[in-house]
Structure 1
Amino acid sequence: MAIKTVSIIGLGALGILFGNQLSKKMKIEDLRIIADKDRIKRYEEDEIYCNGERCHFHYVTPEEVYEPADLLIFAVKFNGLNEAIQSVRHHVGEHTIILSLLNGITSEAIIGDTYGMDKVLYCVAQGMDAVKVGNKLTYDHTGMLCFGERESSYVSQKVKMLSAFFEKMEVPYEADSNMVRRQWGKFMLNVGVNQTVAVNKSNYGEVQKSGKARETMILAMREVIALSEKEGVCLTEEDLNYWLKVLSTLSPEGKPSMAQDVEARRLSEVELFAGTVVSLGEKYGIPTPTNKRLYSEIKLLESQYYVQ
């Protein structure tokens, strides 16, 4: 069996970036973008652009009945996940492979609770520096999708099928046999980078150079390392250095999603990052002062959105 049909829910930065790549290689009817009627109307009226190129997408509503997709991609923000899970029901079948591009370390289990963990591959999107403003996405680095089974002992048929599909679609990817560690590593980077850049209202360049912002970022990341040991993942300084190298490849003018949310006065995923770290710190009795401070500062910024 080969992957022939793909459904995507969520047209944020990652949904547009990878949706546009797939659209160049697939029949338009085989790539379905799931959205409600109001969103579809807005997408069609305003149009969507990726690095100056107009995207040509086939939109479907959650109510429309389709044959289940071979591959279903979640590319929504975490606060939209529960609604998205209900919206994709007509696209999930017995053999559907589900991939979540969400940040954090919990979305796969949440999706699996509804559709079964046997359909879900663990995934990390890394190395992209996409910035979305309105209906326009720009990026210098595509990054890649890293995926694999939660259990690290084997390469499953699902992993082989997805690898073959991405190879054909020319989507950069890496099949990883230790996805829990990879996910925690990306979580560590997000906790440091997303929150620090958001609070400083800056960009990747601010944390790529020496200074107070970079120090804050690394302190926040080290709090994740301490927690990972309690969770049986055991990240090390070597992992931290790996992810700092990933950070160094991004465009200095680029911004992580949380910084873009703050700029646009949207509620962020702070609960997914500092919220998770602080909660786990309380669970294990491990101090998390840097994440507590970042959490408070981001919540303060958000509280000012609606102040006239």
Structure 2
Amino acid sequence: MEIKKVSMIGLGALGVMYGHQLSKEVPKANLRIIADQNRIEKYEHEGIFCNGERCDFQYVTPEEPVELADLLIFSVKYSGLHEAIKAAENHVDDHTIILSTLNGISSERDIGTYYGFDKVLYCVAQGMDAVKTGNRQTYDNFGLLCFGEKQSIDSRKVKCLASFFDQVNIPYELDAEMMKRQWGKFMQNVGVNQTVAVFESDYGKIQRDGEAREMMIAAMQEVIQLSKYEEIDLTEADLQYWLNVIGQLSPHGKPSMRQDMEAKRISELELFAGSVIKLGENHDVATPVNEELYRKISEMEKTF
């Protein structure tokens, strides 16, 4: 199998970044951005810009008949995933490979339940510092996509997608322990996204010693403790790995939750602290740092 037709849904910071890169390497007719008619009209009128360049995208509505996709990429917020899954129905058949760049540890489960787990690869987007304000997205670090089967990198789907990413110059890494990698990224998001939001700052604040960095690490350590009950078993070595990833980000960049708060959008709080608190309740494990982050961010969102 060879990937030729690509469909994407979601033009947030990551969707724009990956869509723009793909548009440079894939014929315009073979790259489709799925969106409703109102969004399409807005995108075409105002334009979408990536690091100052206007993106040249082909847009299609969910109802529009199209050639089936070889690769379907979800890059929406988790709150919009279920709507996006249904919106992509005309693009999927038995051969389609599905990839999710969403935060958290749930999107592959939701997509696989709807379309079949045989189509889904597990994925983590890491190391990028993309920021989107209005219709303009900027980034310094492109990062990479880490993907694989749940416990393998030897499948036809993995090899096919790796070959395609080689062709279109998208950095990637294969990982045969994707559940642990996803939990590691979840741990990072729980610490970074929420702490930067509460301190109304940027990556630079948590890259320096101080109260913010201490809170971030404490929130991440609660995820490490919970992972042992979920048979994932993150360690302090995993914490250090993700701290190193954080240290390479642009100090002036901001994570998605901070961008949401600045735009006065409801954030992915339930996906982060909400999930940690529920896991803590399930396993009778205290999660005081995430409870405090949940309280503070909830109070901030009440002012929107």
Please say whether Structure 1 and Structure 2 have the same fold, judged by a TM-score greater than 0.5: yes
Q: In 1, Cα distance between the equivalents of 2:174 and 2:217? A: 27
Deviation at 1:151, TM superposition (A): 2.3
Match of 1:60 in 2: 60
Match of 2:51 in 1: 51
Match of 2:225, SS? helix
Match of 1:130 in 2: 130
Equivalent runs, 1:23-102 vs 2, <5 Å: 23-102=23-102
Amino acid at match of 1:135: N
Q: In 2, Cα distance between the equivalents of 1:288 and 1:65? A: 48
Match of 2:95, SS? coil
Deviation at 1:65, TM superposition (A): 1.1
Match of 1:205 in 2: 204
Tell me the alpha carbon deviations over residues 170-192 of structure 1, each in whole angstroms, 9 at most, x when there is no partner.
00111111100100000000000
Unaligned runs of 5+ in 2: none
Match of 1:118 in 2: 118
Deviation at 1:197, TM superposition (A): 0.1
Indicate yes or no: 2:159 matched with 1:170: no
Match of 1:108, SS? helix
Match of 2:278 in 1: 279
Match of 2:252 in 1: 253
Equivalent runs, 1:184-223 vs 2, <5 Å: 184-223=183-222
Q: Give the CA RMSD over aligned residues.
A: 0.6
Report the identity percentage: 62
Q: In 1, Cα distance between the equivalents of 2:88 and 2:119? A: 14
Q: Which runs of 4+ in 1 moved over 3 A?
A: none
Q: In 2, Cα distance between the equivalents of 1:151 and 1:127? A: 22
Q: In 1, Cα distance between the equivalents of 2:105 and 2:217? A: 19
Q: In 1, Cα distance between the equivalents of 2:112 and 2:162? A: 21
Indicate yes or no: 2:226 matched with 1:227: yes
Match of 2:63, SS? coil
Amino acid at match of 2:139: Y
Q: In 2, Cα distance between the equivalents of 1:101 and 1:239? A: 20
Q: In 1, Cα distance between the equivalents of 2:172 and 2:94? A: 25
Q: In 1, Cα distance between the equivalents of 2:21 and 2:67? A: 23
Match of 2:235 in 1: 236
Tell me the alpha carbon deviations over residues 120-167 of structure 1, each in whole angstroms, 9 at most, x when there is no partner.
000000000011000000000000000000123x51010000000000
Amino acid at match of 1:127: G
Q: In 2, Cα distance between the equivalents of 1:206 and 1:82? A: 34
Q: In 1, Cα distance between the equivalents of 2:244 and 2:155? A: 30
Match of 1:174, SS? strand
Q: In 1, Cα distance between the equivalents of 2:131 and 2:211? A: 24
Amino acid at match of 2:118: D
Tell me the alpha carbon deviations over residues 196-220 of structure 1, each in whole angstroms, 9 at most, x when there is no partner.
0001110000000000000000000
Match of 2:302 in 1: 303
TM-score, normalised with respect to structure 1: 0.98
Match of 2:33, SS? strand
Q: In 1, Cα distance between the equivalents of 2:179 and 2:26? A: 31
Question: How many residues are aligned here?
Answer: 304
Match of 2:264, SS? coil
Deviation at 1:252, TM superposition (A): 0.2
